[in-house]
Structure 1
Amino acid sequence: MSPTPLHRRDFDPSARGALDGVRVIDLSRLVAGNLLTKVLADHGAEVVKVEPPEGDSLRAWKVQGIETSWKTWCRNKRSLCLDLRHAEAQALVRRLAEGASMLVESFRPGVLEAMRLEPAALLQANPSLVIVRVSGWGQTGPFRHKPGFGTLVEGYSGFASINGFADREPVLPPMFMGDAYAGLYGSAAALIALRHAEATGQGQVIDLSLFDPMLAVLEPQTANYAITGKLKQRTGSRSTNTAPRNAYRTKDGGWVCLSSSTQGMTEKLFRSIGRPELIEDPRFRTNPDRLRNWEVLDSIVAGFVAERTTAENLAHFDTAGVTIGPIKDAAGLLDDAFVAERESLVEVPDESMPSGWLPMHGEVPRLSATPGILARPAPKLGEHNEEILAPLIGTEELARLRDAGIVRG
């Protein structure tokens, strides 16, 4: 079978989104803040990345010399490179904030104040400004001054304690889960605050910790524990709410995931594997019965799946209307008809790639009247210094600040 090519999309600088006219000053670093502002930029906001002389930390995450993380999370943005150790650079940020809709930062609590960019002063100069403060543990509480990467909150929140298998150590996620949840919660919070500011003229400060969103998505664990006094245990890919639900190995060494979350779906499953008698089997008649006897049930399903290849399993259960899917890796996603047709992944031009094309996710979420945009690739360091600062301070002053090492790039 020949590979399924991804749709190729070119950047369109004239594209406009629903947030056209919203200017965001982005002082954040790494994933959470950049994901937050990427959502806004993908829908038309003008995001000005204020980077230090060495660039955003994402630029250092390279694969064979290519800044894949930067290119993915910082598309549609502009780059302004300032040395914020200088008072004149801090003053430039204050002036930019005066004409902005939003400012996003991810310094350790207190650093913004040390740079004379404290929220009270920013809001005095621009009362409708929305200020998003991203930190590991929040702006209040006993941990506010501690460094807090996503790894720490993935452990502290209780996620790692329930992730993995019962006879093994707790497992941290192999991706930026804590940062991703914070970025997504943060984009929603920013738009809520922006709606309020547009309606009332009143800006506000959003205290966005990495910890709070991570804890929120794990509920109702604490409520369940308060009722039962029992802790949720690590169960691998098995669910403690329904059975069967697991990852199953196929005859050709692949993996499929199968979930049977309703009574009707379970009965379809039993019929599809040629075991309709299991519907009335007292061990499997109801979901509580199936959870008590999950090991026996899992062995029955696993045995059926193991006798067939991945493709045969998918075809068989799809025909029966049973919820099953393949467990894909990156290679499989790049050669997948569903992913290509829906443009969940697309290719954009990139001269640093050997092929000249860089695969990345399409616009998320999908809006019918105001879809997301691909206006420009992730910027080079300081690429938009003149475009951003010349209208604000003039070309002569810009040249002086560049000569003084305050404007960089």
Structure 2
Amino acid sequence: MTQHPNAPTGRIVSYAPDAAGPLTGLKVLDLSRLVAGNVLSVQLADFGADVVKIEPPEGDALRFWKEAGKELYWASYCRNKRSIGLNLRDPKAREILLDMVRTADVLVENYRPGTLEKMGLAPAVLHEANDRLVLVRISGFGQTGPYSPLPGFGTLVEAMSGFAARTGFPDREPVLPQNPLADMMAGLQGAFAVVTAVLARNEKGVRNQIVDVALLEPLFSTMGTDLAVYRQNGQVAPRQGSGSNGSAPRNVYCCRDDKFVALSASTQSTAVRVFDVIGRPELKDDPRFATNTTRVEHREDLDDALAAWFATKTRPQALAAMQAGEVPVAAIYDVADISADPHFIEREVFVEAEDEDGSYVPMHNISPRLSASPGAFRCPAPRLGEHSDDLLGALGYGLDDIRALRSAGVVI
């Protein structure tokens, strides 16, 4: 009997509101919208930072990335955070924000470069209120350079970083990633930058720190030696599908049951074992396949031999044979495979969080895993303005003041 896809298969999260983490005590104000900033701040929040989303009256645009009517992105990347709604077009809202800045450690924003200045919240203004503040500025192409004014959409960065040009097959158009890869990479690198900047402040006395996170640079840093190779030989590396310019055999192969596997045999000893497993030991003495360099040069011939073997085996048969021969091979998984896989379940790669309607939302677990000071699930993603009253109260506003601010459209 097939399990319903909405039935939880992972561990159900139990929230621990008072759980401490290695970043407990770190106060983060997150003005960002959509993906990069929220990926950055959820990394900090998962490990104990008090992250407050400063949302516009309509809410962070990530709330509107819905699937089946549900705010799944919001649930996954805004867990462990609080929310206050502020209309920053109003001078009083900017005054409230500056009051919050005075006791904050970090502020994250991803407006187009120059927008923060136009709002009257330039770095100098923020640092005048609190010179210990680490200001993180996320944009598509950075705060400087001729492309800095361009919109910071990840798609543009994925196009211009070299990533799309290297992805896909040589006889077809370049391929963009299906997920917001540039944003995700920038968010993860940005979280590292925040911890580094806070350490520099606490240990070295650094003040007035600005962290310039461009979506372009983290993604470009993953492109390996493409630029160096081009500089050496003047050739632009072509798209290779799932193959590699650096090693062979390395590709995706279709099995008899129309299921796919991925294989990588980048060392000499591994390549030799591949030839034994597919019943072609004579290939070890073939000069076309004697070294990695010659195997790359004759990649198509090598792939033909492997493809012919995989076509005679079901995926379970192919995996069993390759693994018995100590060849690195894996099934190409989709999310249905992941949802039922025992390793994902036992290791809790994903967990299940209860939604407001009583259903469960699977999401990535807290990562990386720290043995002595792990992160924790303290609360689900907040409703818009869910914590406005508490946050304003901490600034000294009374209930009547808060009602007046809400009536005036300053606070949500």
Query: Considering the TM-score relative to the shorter chain, is it more than 0.5?
Result: yes
1:243 to 223, 231, 248: 248
2:203 to 199, 202, 205: 199
Which deviations, in whole Å up to 9, do the C-alpha atoms of 1:65-102 show, x marking residues without a partner?
A: 10001111101000110111101101111111110110
What SS is found at the alignment partner of 1:139? Answer: coil
CA distance in 1, matches of 2:128, 2:57: 29
Shift of 1:21: 0.2
CA distance in 2, matches of 1:382, 1:351: 16
CA distance in 2, matches of 1:83, 1:351: 27
Contact 1:128 1:198 in 2 (8 A): no
Matched, 1:338 2:343: yes
Matched, 1:178 2:182: yes
Which deviations, in whole Å up to 9, do the C-alpha atoms of 1:200-252 show, x marking residues without a partner?
A: 33230011111121222213211110111000101100011111111101111
Letter in 1 for 2:326: G
CA distance in 2, matches of 1:145, 1:388: 34
Shift of 1:402: 1.2
Letter in 2 for 1:118: A
Shift of 1:399: 2.1
Shift of 1:173: 1.0
What SS is found at the alignment partner of 2:361? Answer: strand
> How do 1:21-170 and structure 2 match up within 5 A?
21-170=25-174
User: Could you tell me which residue of structure 1 aligns to residue 402 of structure 2?
Assistant: 398
CA distance in 1, matches of 2:101, 2:318: 57
What SS is found at the alignment partner of 2:369? Answer: coil
CA distance in 2, matches of 1:352, 1:392: 33
Letter in 1 for 2:259: G
What SS is found at the alignment partner of 1:283? Answer: helix
Q: What count of residue pairs does the alignment treat as equivalent?
A: 406
CA distance in 2, matches of 1:246, 1:220: 20
Matched, 1:364 2:367: yes
Contact 1:127 1:202 in 2 (8 A): no
What SS is found at the alignment partner of 1:407? Answer: coil
2:327 to 317, 322, 325: 322
Shift of 1:329: 0.7
User: Could you tell me which residue of structure 2 aligns to residue 213 of structure 1?
Assistant: 218
After TM superposition, the score normalised by the length of structure 2 is 0.96
What SS is found at the alignment partner of 2:395? Answer: helix
Contact 1:345 1:362 in 2 (8 A): yes
Contact 1:135 1:209 in 2 (8 A): yes
After TM superposition, the score normalised by the length of structure 1 is 0.97
Shift of 1:363: 0.6
Matched, 1:378 2:353: no
Which deviations, in whole Å up to 9, do the C-alpha atoms of 1:254-282 show, x marking residues without a partner?
A: 10000101111111111111222211211
Matched, 1:229 2:234: yes
Letter in 2 for 1:177: L
> How do 1:278-317 and structure 2 match up within 5 A?
278-317=283-322
What SS is found at the alignment partner of 1:393? Answer: coil
Q: CA RMSD in A?
A: 1.4
Contact 1:128 1:197 in 2 (8 A): yes
CA distance in 1, matches of 2:114, 2:357: 38
Letter in 1 for 2:278: I
Q: Which moved more, 1:217-226 or 1:25-34?
A: 217-226
CA distance in 2, matches of 1:175, 1:323: 26
Gaps of 5+ in 2: none
Letter in 2 for 1:116: G
Letter in 2 for 1:270: F
Letter in 2 for 1:178: A
Which deviations, in whole Å up to 9, do the C-alpha atoms of 1:146-200 show, x marking residues without a partner?
A: 2120000111111111111000011111110111111111111111101001113
What SS is found at the alignment partner of 1:25? Answer: strand
CA distance in 1, matches of 2:118, 2:330: 52
CA distance in 1, matches of 2:259, 2:375: 35
Which deviations, in whole Å up to 9, do the C-alpha atoms of 1:281-332 show, x marking residues without a partner?
A: 1111100111111111101111111111111111111111110001011111
CA distance in 2, matches of 1:36, 1:173: 20
CA distance in 1, matches of 2:100, 2:9: 43
1:275 to 280, 284, 305: 280
Letter in 2 for 1:239: S
Shift of 1:2: 7.4
Q: Which moved more, 1:86-95 or 1:389-398?
A: 389-398
CA distance in 2, matches of 1:9, 1:38: 16
Matched, 1:259 2:264: yes
CA distance in 2, matches of 1:150, 1:359: 25
1:389 to 365, 380, 392: 392
Structure 1 runs of 4+ with >4 Å offset: 1-4
CA distance in 2, matches of 1:390, 1:351: 26
Letter in 1 for 2:293: P
What SS is found at the alignment partner of 1:389? Answer: helix
Letter in 1 for 2:389: E
* Identity value in percent: 46
Gaps of 5+ in 1: none
Which deviations, in whole Å up to 9, do the C-alpha atoms of 1:119-160 show, x marking residues without a partner?
A: 112112211110000011111112222212000011111111
